[in-house]
A and B are shown apart, each in its own frame.
Chain A
Amino acid sequence: MNRVSVLLPVWCWLLVLLVAPLAIVAAISLGEAADGVPPFTLGFSLDSLRTVWTDPFYRVSFLLSLRVAGISTLCCLLLGYPAALAIARAPERWRDPLLLAIMLPFWTGFLMRVNAWIGILADGGWLAGALSWLAGGPVRLLYTDAALYLGMVYTYLPFMVLPLYASLSRLDPALGEAAADLGAPPWLRFVRVTLPLSMPGVAAGCVLVFIPAVGEYVIPELLGGPGAQLVGRVLWSEFFANRDWPMASALAVTLLVLLLVVPATVQGIWSLRRR
């Protein structure tokens, strides 16, 4: 009885904020677009889902999103791992200020920070201007893939660093010392001791970066080129330009299924390795 009453708010929370919205989106994806307020009729039509799964236009967009998210995750990992390791190995009194420096950008609006990048990357902006001067010719940054990746890595890096730090700071330094006593050079200690023990942090960081990155809309829209038709932008244009709510919902449902499969696979591989 007591357990039920404790868990009741949690279940209500999940029902109202997770299950109900998902059920609504799933129901709309089975409807049909129509003139009206709201602009669809409920029904049981698989047309929208079938189009999303068979039309190459959407497949290209999903694959592009997965690729951009994958590369961004990799960049975040390569940049974030040394940062997290450095913070974890830093003297005690330095750790909190360093962590704060990672988290501080979160305290200002995300949209404002991305807009600030437009100023930096635009023709004649600080970065593009400096690069043009060095290259001796005009360098275009804004609305290119470089700007897209820069924005993605910049935005999602903290999501990688924080779980990595959490797992690296819990490592017992005695394990590394023992490996050193047994004659392991630093690189071998890292590969055989630190890296394997931090894998849960790596997995958590990658999932935390990859999943929101796949559906990202704002960064490709504001920084990416017109060719960067990621699934977030395609979904926007179904909803706004075509006013086709069922199609937009079908895309959202498909994206969700895709994103449930990825962490499930990661977890599956992880638990297989543990056995």
Chain B
Amino acid sequence: MRRALSILLLLFLIGLMPAQAQRVVNVYNWTDYIDPEALKRFTAETGIEVRYDVFDSLETLEAKLLAGHSGYDVVTPSNEPSFSRLIRAGALMPIDRSKVPNWGNLDAGLMRRVESSDPGNRYGGIYLFGTIGLGINPDRIGALAPNAPLDSWDLFFKPENAKLLAPCGIAMMDSAIDVIPSVLKYLGKDPNSTDPADLAAVEKTLMAVRPFIRSFASGGNLEALATGQICMAIDYSGDVIQAAARAKGVTIRYVAPKEGTEVGFDMLAIPADAPHKEEALAFIDFVLRPAVMAGITNFVRYPNAVPAARALIKPELLADTNVFPTDQQIAGFFTIGPVPQSAERARTRMWARFKAGP
């Protein structure tokens, strides 16, 4: 009996031991958004175990963080609307830069652009960034609509073009947050407009092409583009570029439409109630190393904001202006600002009507 008890006690202690000795960091990131090697190397170098979890929409991320006690230590919200809203809600912790020596690797010009969301850059550094545009299959589009412009939102939002392309498959990203500002910009309006008349104009534009849209994807249209099920989609730049790399037998191209393209920055941030803050800072510092950042960009094909990483990035990615836009292109991209809740409710409502169709 005593022996059995002591064995039980021993087992109990063994069960406890790793929990005390092992340091962990809980990372919550977008799907398909990391180089798996980076996680392995971080654990090998620091001894900190990475528990890695993914989200596929900003809505999911925000809901978890706003409910509190999410348990995550590092999160990657987009600068607008999530990052700025989480700051306002007090859900993020200011980053102690003395513990992140690699902070200095970040591009000062790009960091200035996210100051509209986070004055003084107190709560986060840029992880990766990308634009929202069109993923197209130029061969199928050329066959169906030879005269349609390939560099313009007209390709998607002009009903006569959409009608021609409907047979080869048009997909929409299922996110009011990400699509409405681009439509406002296309219509020559302020992308942050909260004017009901502007929203009505957006609705009219979207409804006119609604009959030609085959599907609404929430996890992106990567797979459908790569397999040739669709020939045009509104999507994140990196998703389209990944689709192009995975495509078999079809050519996929990304287009940043000339009327105006939204650029979004995904930020490395730490929740205010993160249980492992020191480990989170160590993780962010590790990710901001040029070699690690280069590995991530080579893997996920989104550009980063660490100029020193460029020397280690695959030349073909560096030369692709869709992955690394020129400074001139970057200057032409627009960023969006926060929208008050009443306007956002109107947007969500309009989006539900749009999805339901006329």
A residues neighboring B (CB under 8 Å): 33, 35-39, 57, 143, 226-227, 229, 234, 237, 239-244
CB-based contact A35/B89 at 8 Å: yes
Near A by CB (< 8 A), chain B positions 340-355 give 341, 344-345, 348-349, 352, 355
Closest 7 CB pairs of A and B: A226-B355, A227-B356, A240-B59, A35-B89, A35-B88, A39-B66, A37-B68
Complex interface: chain A residues within 8 A of B88 (CB)? 35
CB-based contact B91/A227 at 8 Å: no
CB-based contact A229/B68 at 8 Å: no
Determine the residue in chain B with the shortest Cβ distance to A55: B349
CB-based contact A37/B90 at 8 Å: yes
Instruction: Give the contacting residue for B91; candidates A37, A237, A241; CB below 8 A.
Output: A37
CB-based contact A37/B65 at 8 Å: yes
Determine the residue in chain B with the shortest Cβ distance to A240: B59
Is B140 among interface residues, defined by CB-CB distance under 8 A?
Answer: no
Considering the chains assembled together, what is the distance between the CA atoms of A244 and B89 in angstroms? 13
Determine the residue in chain A with the shortest Cβ distance to B60: A240
Complex interface: chain B residues within 8 A of A33 (CB)? 341
Chain A CB within 10 Å, residue with most, of B63, B68, B85: B63
CB-based contact A237/B63 at 8 Å: no
Instruction: Give the contacting residue for A237; candidates B62, B216, B352; CB below 8 A.
Output: B352
Chain A CB within 10 Å, residue with most, of B91, B349, B352, B356: B352
CB-based contact B341/A242 at 8 Å: yes
Complex interface: chain A residues within 8 A of B89 (CB)? 35-37, 39
Determine the residue in chain A with the shortest Cβ distance to B216: A226
Between-chain CB contacts (< 8 Å), 29 pairs: A33-B341, A35-B85, A35-B88, A35-B89, A35-B90, A36-B90, A37-B65, A37-B66, A37-B67, A37-B68, A37-B91, A37-B272, A38-B68, A226-B357, A227-B356, A229-B352, A229-B356, A234-B352, A237-B348, A240-B59, A240-B60, A240-B63, A241-B59, A242-B345, A243-B62, A243-B63, A243-B66, A244-B341, A244-B345
CB-based contact A242/B272 at 8 Å: no
Complex interface: chain B residues within 8 A of A39 (CB)? 66, 89
How far apart are A103's CB and chain B's nearest CB, in angstroms?
33
How far apart are B335's CB and chain A's nearest CB, in angstroms?
20
Instruction: Give the contacting residue for B67; candidates A38, A237, A241; CB below 8 A.
Output: A38
Considering the chains assembled together, what is the distance between the CA atoms of A241 and B91 in angstroms? 17
CB-based contact A227/B355 at 8 Å: yes
How far apart are A214's CB and chain B's nearest CB, in angstroms?
19
- Per-position 1/0 for B74-91, Cβ under 8 A of A: 000000000001001111
Complex interface: chain A residues within 8 A of B344 (CB)? 242
Considering the chains assembled together, what is the distance between the CA atoms of A116 and B101 in angstroms? 49
Beyond A37-B67, A37-B91, list 4 extra A-B contacts (CB 8 Å): A36-B89, A226-B357, A240-B60, A241-B348
Determine the residue in chain A with the shortest Cβ distance to B87: A35
Is B194 among interface residues, defined by CB-CB distance under 8 A?
Answer: no
Complex interface: chain B residues within 8 A of A237 (CB)? 348, 352
> Are A239 and B63 also in contact (CB < 8 A) when A37-B272, A226-B216, A227-B356 are?
yes
Is B176 among interface residues, defined by CB-CB distance under 8 A?
Answer: yes
Considering the chains assembled together, what is the distance between the CA atoms of A243 and B91 in angstroms? 14
Is B152 among interface residues, defined by CB-CB distance under 8 A?
Answer: no
Considering the chains assembled together, what is the distance between the CA atoms of A269 and B85 in angstroms? 51
Considering the chains assembled together, what is the distance between the CA atoms of A239 and B67 in angstroms? 11
Determine the residue in chain A with the shortest Cβ distance to B63: A240
Determine the residue in chain A with the shortest Cβ distance to B344: A242
Is B116 among interface residues, defined by CB-CB distance under 8 A?
Answer: no
How far apart are B63's CB and chain A's nearest CB, in angstroms?
5
Instruction: Give the contacting residue for A143; candidates B176, B215, B345; CB below 8 A.
Output: B215
Complex interface: chain B residues within 8 A of A143 (CB)? 215
Instruction: Give the contacting residue for B349; candidates A57, A226, A243; CB below 8 A.
Output: A57
How far apart are A145's CB and chain B's nearest CB, in angstroms?
12
How far apart are A231's CB and chain B's nearest CB, in angstroms?
13
How far apart are B17's CB and chain A's nearest CB, in angstroms?
33
How far apart are A143's CB and chain B's nearest CB, in angstroms?
7
How far apart are A55's CB and chain B's nearest CB, in angstroms?
9
Complex interface: chain A residues within 8 A of B215 (CB)? 143
> Are A226 and B272 also in contact (CB < 8 A) when A38-B66, A239-B63, A242-B345 are?
no
How far apart are A167's CB and chain B's nearest CB, in angstroms?
40
Determine the residue in chain A with the shortest Cβ distance to B61: A240
Complex interface: chain B residues within 8 A of A241 (CB)? 59, 176, 348
How far apart are B191's CB and chain A's nearest CB, in angstroms?
19
Chain B CB within 10 Å, residue with most, of A229, A234, A241, A244: A241
Considering the chains assembled together, what is the distance between the CA atoms of A263 and B272 in angstroms? 45
Complex interface: chain A residues within 8 A of B272 (CB)? 37
Determine the residue in chain B with the shortest Cβ distance to A226: B355
Complex interface: chain A residues within 8 A of B85 (CB)? 35
